[in-house]
């Protein structure tokens, strides 16, 4: 940028900057040309970044959508080599496993978030918990699967059953926990301190204040975070491969192996059969629609309450 | 005059409400309960380390550090070495970040600067966030059936041009490292974009105004003022996505080819620690389980280091304006 001002020396001895250079925008200047080039590059980068979303959605909607029929939800997957069938057991399985995970992770996560923001003095212990929470959020999801395999599946913890829907649910809960704690903590931070003082002032106990004043005031950010965490858990595969395993049959209770859509997609996509590959696309369609709907719901929650 | 009946008597004014024992119990009980719930994080984290380390002990004793540098994976003769998987983990994650960082930061600049109308920028931001919501297994499915066949000619063109270098000396025939790297780019791009966008949004408006006030152009301001102010948060985000890329399992497993033998070529099948676990853990027994746990320990140490580094960078290198 400095070069453009010094340039004047050679062609104009009097070098009156204000006379020589008009204040109007000159697109031919080097700096403005560089500007345009860089803006174009940023535009291309932005286009490249959204391109995969369109391509993936296009294929999932097209390939999966054309298989959409009522039988998809009422039938079992066919044995290898046969045509037809559906993914009914996997749809139920995904809902069930995600539900188990939510039942475990949401109370613990919200409770942990309440402790971090309402009860702890931000001393070494809560700092350690916050730090541990960030580390737990970064633990690869496959490691979560290995961990739950180690403590639940291989030890046959529940009724001497090895692979089970509960094991899968626990693995997903470990995955959801950091998100729920983080969003609860952040959500409670936004609640004005005056609300708590007001509650104590009229004689409410801490428990009543948290339950009736602070938590409801922070409902929106917490609900948004929880919905996003559930959506993420529903699509996870890695923690389920060797915890919930897979089952070609209808669910037989939560202490038995269970089919989920994500594991079905993984198993069926690497099979050399056309019918299985198509069911993988159909399951992708259902899963993506469910997850995108949850994401839009989360957005809607935060938008509605802000208005 | 009439006595003011509304004035509190002395007894009323100075007696605090007597809290029944049940209320006190509820209060302390709830505090303890929330403490236990918060401690679950630490308990889970420590048990993850313990379970994986104990599981790996046999293999650590058996193979020692040579596990990291040998590349055999032979369940019949019980000889295991994780070099191929460690190499694959590092190469795929680092190369994918080298592609994703410029794309992600560029997109974040596009979203935060006023080049485009706000509606378009918001739409781009929303789309990038929705991309993050697509499950990795669906991206893997798409990579197998759509992306890999589509980019194979381009990869073979790379082979034709750069076949002399050890990184492109095989033809692309299907699953391999290169498609895995590209699908990782798709997976980490939303994280980098989201964190960079937040970082850029937090740069004080006065810094921008100051830059424009002394007559710089948009990109002059971006490169000399805005990016330097946001660099620590962006670097932290990049480290976080490096950890994510290292641990990413499903999409990579489905497209990397799960090779056992070492090959420098990016167009040839490879392996990562996470894909090795996903493929073999369910059916493994004996020392193979332990060897897989050993690999899991290595993956955990890698992601742990990267994540701690990320947090340290965000805390220590943040600019004070």
ipTM confidence score = 0.85
Q: How many residues are present in chain A?
A: 307
For position A205, which CATH number holds? 1.10.3720.10
Q: Alpha-carbon dihedral of residues B149, B241, B131, A189, nearest 10 degrees? A: 170
Q: Would the CB atoms of B278 and A142 count as touching at under 8 Å? A: yes
| Residue of chain A minimizing CA distance to B187 | A52
CA distance from start to end of chain B: 65
**Chain B neighbors of A114, CB-CB under 8 A:** 34, 37
Question: Scanning the structure block, which residue is given the tokens 């790379």?
Answer: B158
In chain B the domains, ranked by start, together with CATH numbers, are 85-273+303-316 (1.10.3720.10)
Q: Distance between CA A5 and CA A26 in Å, rounded?
A: 15
Instruction: Confirm or reject contact between A232 and chain B (CB < 8 A).
Output: yes
CA A55 to chain centre: 20
Select from A245, A275, A277, A274 the least CA-distant residue to A260: A245
Q: Is residue A79 part of a domain?
A: yes
Strand, coil or helix: B74? strand
Q: Distance between CA A33 and CA A39 in Å, rounded?
A: 10
Q: Is residue A30 part of a domain?
A: no
Structure tokens belonging to residue B227: 């990016």
Evaluate whether B33 touches A215 at the Cβ level (below 8 Å).
no
Instruction: Count structural domains, chain A.
Output: 1
Q: Sign of dihedral through CA atoms A112, A114, A120, A121? A: positive
Q: Is residue A31 part of a domain?
A: no
Structure tokens belonging to residue B50: 């313990």
Q: Is residue A21 part of a domain?
A: no
pTM: 0.86
Residues 164-183, chain A, touching B (beta carbon < 8 A): 174, 177-178, 181
Q: Is residue A15 part of a domain?
A: no
**Residues with Cβ within 8 Å of residue A121, at least 6 apart in sequence:** none
Most distant CA pair in chain A, distance: 95
Helices (H) and strands (E) in chain A, counts: 16, 0
Crossing angle of helices A261-269 and A274-306, in 10° steps, is 150
| Residue of chain B minimizing CA distance to A27 | B217
Q: Is residue A43 part of a domain?
A: no
Q: Is residue A122 part of a domain?
A: yes
Domain carrying residue A293: 71-306
pLDDT digits (tens), chain A, 307 positions: 444 444 444 444 555 555 566 667 777 778 888 888 888 898 898 888 888 888 888 888 888 888 777 877 777 778 777 777 788 888 888 999 999 999 999 999 999 999 988 888 778 888 888 889 988 988 999 999 889 988 887 777 677 677 888 888 999 999 999 999 999 998 998 899 999 999 988 888 888 899 889 998 888 889 888 998 998 898 888 888 888 888 777 777 778 788 888 888 888 888 888 788 888 888 899 999 999 998 888 888 878 776 6
Q: Is residue A200 part of a domain?
A: yes
Strand, coil or helix: B144? helix
């Amino acid at each position: 940028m400095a070069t453009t001002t010094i340039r004047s020396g050679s062609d104009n001895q009097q070098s009156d900057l204000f006379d020589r250079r008009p204040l109007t925008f000159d697109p031919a200047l080097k700096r403005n040309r560089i500007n345009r080039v860089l803006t174009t590059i940023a535009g291309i980068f932005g286009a490249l970044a959204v391109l995969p979303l369109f391509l993936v959605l296009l294929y999932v909607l097209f390939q999966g959508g054309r298989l959409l029929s009522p039988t998809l939800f009422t039938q079992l997957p066919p044995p290898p080599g046969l045509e037809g069938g559906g993914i009914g057991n996997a749809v139920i399985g995904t809902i069930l496993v995600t539900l188990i995970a939510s039942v475990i992770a949401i109370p613990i996560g919200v409770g942990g978030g309440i402790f971090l923001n309402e009860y702890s003095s931000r001393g070494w212990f809560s700092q350690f918990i916050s730090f541990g929470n960030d580390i737990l959020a970064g633990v690869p999801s496959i490691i979560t699967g290995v961990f739950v395999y180690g403590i639940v599946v291989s030890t046959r913890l529940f009724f001497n059953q090895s692979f089970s829907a509960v094991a899968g649910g626990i693995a997903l809960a470990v995955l959801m926990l950091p998100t729920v704690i983080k969003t609860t903590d952040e959500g409670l931070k936004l609640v004005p301190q005056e609300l708590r003082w007001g509650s104590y002032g009229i004689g409410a106990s801490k428990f009543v204040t948290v339950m009736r004043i602070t938590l409801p005031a922070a409902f929106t950010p917490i609900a948004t975070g929880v919905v996003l965490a559930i959506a993420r858990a529903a699509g996870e595969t890695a923690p389920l491969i060797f915890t919930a395993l897979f089952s070609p049959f209808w669910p037989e209770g939560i202490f038995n192996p269970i089919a989920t859509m994500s594991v079905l997609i993984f198993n069926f996509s690497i099979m050399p059969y056309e019918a299985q590959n198509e069911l993988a696309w159909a399951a992708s369609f259902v899963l993506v629609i469910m997850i995108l709907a949850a994401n839009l719901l989360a957005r809607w929650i935060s938008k509605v309450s802000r208005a | 005059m009439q006595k003011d009946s509304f004035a509190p008597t002395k007894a009323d004014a100075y007696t605090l409400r007597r809290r029944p024992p049940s209320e006190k119990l509820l209060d302390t009980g709830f505090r303890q309960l929330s403490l236990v719930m918060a401690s679950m994080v630490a308990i889970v984290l420590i048990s993850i380390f313990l379970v994986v380390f104990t599981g790996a002990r046999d293999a650590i004793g058996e193979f020692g550090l040579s596990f990291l540098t040998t590349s055999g994976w032979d369940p019949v003769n019980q000889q295991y070495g994780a070099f191929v998987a460690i190499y694959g983990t590092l190469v795929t994650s680092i190369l994918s970040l080298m592609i994703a960082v410029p794309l992600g930061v560029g997109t974040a600049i596009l979203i935060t600067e006023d080049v485009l109308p706000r509606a378009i920028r918001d739409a781009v931001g929303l789309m990038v966030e929705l991309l993050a919501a697509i499950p990795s297994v669906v991206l893997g499915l798409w990579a197998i059936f759509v992306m890999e066949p589509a980019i194979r000619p381009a990869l073979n063109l790379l082979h034709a041009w750069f076949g002399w270098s050890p990184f492109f000396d095989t033809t692309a025939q299907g699953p391999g490292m290169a498609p895995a790297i590209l699908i990782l780019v798709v997976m980490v791009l939303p994280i980098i974009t989201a964190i960079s966008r937040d970082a850029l949004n937090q740069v004080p408006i006065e810094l921008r105004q100051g830059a424009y006030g002394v007559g710089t152009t948009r990109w002059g301001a971006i490169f000399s003022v805005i990016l330097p102010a946001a660099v620590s948060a962006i670097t932290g985000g990049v480290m976080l996505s490096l950890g994510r890329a290292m641990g990413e399992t499903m999409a990579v497993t489905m497209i990397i080819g799960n090779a056992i033998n070492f090959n420098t070529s990016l167009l040839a099948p490879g392996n990562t620690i996470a894909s090795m676990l996903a493929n073999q853990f369910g059916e493994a027994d004996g020392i193979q389980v332990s060897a897989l746990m050993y690999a899991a320990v290595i993956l955990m140490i890698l992601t742990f280091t990267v994540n701690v580094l990320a947090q340290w960078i965000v805390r220590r290198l943040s600019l004070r304006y």
